[in-house]
Structure 1
Amino acid sequence: MKFTLESSLTNIVPTFKIGMIYYTKIVVSESPQMIKGRTQLYQENLYLELEGQSVTERPGIKEWRAIWKALGGDPNRYRHSAESLMRRIAKQNYLTPYHSAVDLNNFFSLQYEIPIGIYDMNNLDGDLVIALGDEETGYEGLNGRYNSLKNIAYSRDTQGPFGSPFVDSKRTVVTENTTEAIQLFYLRPSLSEKECTELLNAAGKMFSQIHGGDYTTALLTKDQSQVEI
Structure 2
Amino acid sequence: MHFQHSDEIWSDFPELVAGVLVATGITADAAVEPRLEPFNERAAARLTAGTEADLPEIQAWRRTFARMGLKPTRYRCASESLLRRFRKEGALPSIHPLVDLCNAVSLAFAIPVAALDLAGVSGSLQVGYATGDETYLTLSGEPEHPEAGEVIFADAAGHAHARRWSNRQSGRSAVRETTRDVLIVAEGMHASAAEDVAGLTAALAAAIGEVWATPVRTAALTRTEPRFEIALRTGAG
Indicate yes or no: 2:82 matched with 1:81. no
Separation (CA, whole Å) in 2 of partners of 1:78 and 1:132: 17
Aligned to 1:128: 125
AA matched with 1:158: A
Residue of 104, 108, 113 corresponding to 2:110:
113
Q: Is the 8 A contact 2:109 2:196 kept in 1?
A: no
Q: Which residue of the partner structure matches residue 225 of structure 2? A: 224
Q: 2:101 matched to which residue of 1?
A: 104
> In structure 2, how many angstroms separate the alpha carbons of the residues matched to 1:199 and 1:98?
20
Separation of aligned partners in 2, 1:178 and 1:147: 23
SS of the residue corresponding to residue 14 of structure 2 reads: coil
Which 5+ residue runs of structure 1 have no aligned equivalent?
A: none
Q: Cα RMSD between the aligned structures?
A: 2.6
1:186 — aligned with what? 187
Q: Write the letter of the residue equivalent to 2:228.
A: V
The aligned counterpart of 2:235 is none
1:120, 1:173 within 8 Å by CA — same for their partners in 2?
yes
Does residue 5 (structure 1) correspond to residue 5 (structure 2)? The answer is: yes
| Uncovered stretches (5+) of structure 2, i.e. residues with no partner | 231-237
Identity among equivalent positions (%) equals: 23
Superposed displacement of residue 92, structure 1: 2.3
Deviation at 1:177, TM superposition (A): 2.1
Contact kept in structure 1, 2:17 and 2:193, CA below 8 Å: no
TM-score by length of 2: 0.82
Q: Does 1:35 align with 2:32?
A: no
* Conserved? CA contact 1:142–1:167, under 8 Å: no
Q: Distance in 2 between matches of 1:93 and 1:197?
A: 27
| Structure 1 CA distance for aligned equivalents of residues 132 and 30 of structure 2 | 38
- Aligned residue number for residue 58 of structure 1: 55
Say whether the 8 Å CA contact 2:96–2:177 is kept in structure 1: yes
Q: d(CA) in 1 for partners of 2:137 and 2:191? A: 32
State which drifts further: 25-34 or 121-130: 25-34
Are residues 207 and 189 of structure 1, via their aligned partners in 2, closer, same or farther at CA, if it must alter by over 3 Å? same
